[in-house]
Amino acid sequence: MVNKRKIFIVSLIAVSVIAVILLPFVSGPDVRRDPSRTAEDRIVVIPLNGTVQEGQGGLFAVGGITPRLVYSQLERAAADQSIKGVVLRVESPGGSIAASQEIAYMIRDFEKPIVVSMADMAASGGYYISAYAQGIVAQPGTITGSIGVISTLMDLEGLYEILGIEVETIKSGKHKDMFNRALTEEERAIMQNFSDEAYDQFVGDVAEGRGMTVGEVRELATGEIYLGSRARDLGLVDRLGGTAEAIDYLAELNDLEKPVRYEFPAPSVFDQFFTFGFQVFAKFEKALLGPELIKLEMLREGVPPDIRYQLR
């Protein structure tokens, strides 16, 4: 174990040194950030990649689409008077309910026009955060839709028995321990009602954002995934294409004559190094821990109910 830790530390140092050397070269100049072009109508492209979540997520998780990230990026766009609109490049299978809603409402209330450009996948919560945009553009092969709710509950009693772990629960409230054991029929009904309510919120917001009736959305909200071409026919997507088409569509909708793609300057070398180092550390740490230790850590932290707008 000691030798493994030594190898880990040496490897991390080596990777960090290489990263510091290479980052200045991979972050070269970009004509899209040329200050001489600021007189034109700049459309900032903001990438949003990963699971929609409130924070960093669970064990070993890095990155993701968070309300804090979206807020900070939109604030930058709002503060720059040369930026006339925003294209959000969304790549996400969805994620947590509240985070999806918070981001969707940020987009709804933003003062400048927003068009979403869907990448390989913008499904479930990834579609939710897109629904309030002024327009949605996807590739014919983009995976989208999956409008629905999925709940995953784990009954660990059998595992505890195998591991020889005895759990004693003291509770106040009839259903307080419902996620620590198998559900009763009454509790399954409670969870189904919970899921149905979250589903109704999803359907209602998509209907409002897309200018459709609740009935029209409900017919499509079966949890089914759609290719971008089919989603366009169903009214869930406006046009087919990539980022360039999304920029042109935003310009067309808002009478912008000279739209120019723009991206915010890359993070500093230090910020990139810090993020890269954290990702390397997380991967190495996970590699050093055996599967048994990972499971024990998850048990120690507890296994909360997992209720999401997410494609699985």
Sign of the four-CA dihedral 61, 62, 64, 70: positive
For residue 64, give both structure tokens: 């993701």
- H or E segment to which residue 45 belongs: strand 41-49
Query: Which residue among the candidates 96, 100, 117, 124 is catalytic per the annotation?
Result: 124
Non-local (6+) Cβ contacts of 111 within 8 A are: 78
- Integer CA distances (angstroms), 219 to 116, 203, 223, in order: 23, 10, 10
What is each CA distance from 90 to 22, 211, 291, in whole angstroms? Answer: 28, 21, 32
Neighbours of 98 (CB within 10 A): 14
Pairwise CA distance, residues 173 & 79, whole Å = 49
Give the Cα separation of 27 and 12 in Å (integer): 22
Among residues 176, 283, 286, 295, the one annotated as catalytic is 176
Active site residue 84: no
CA distances in angstroms from 165 to 179, 212, 289, 296, listed in the order given? 17, 52, 21, 11
* Beta strands 225-227; 114-123: pairing state: unpaired
Q: Is-catalytic flag, 283? A: no
Using alpha carbons, list the distances in angstroms from residue 27 to 12, 212, 265, 267: 22, 43, 10, 9
Q: Looking at the annotation, which residues are catalytic?
A: 124, 176
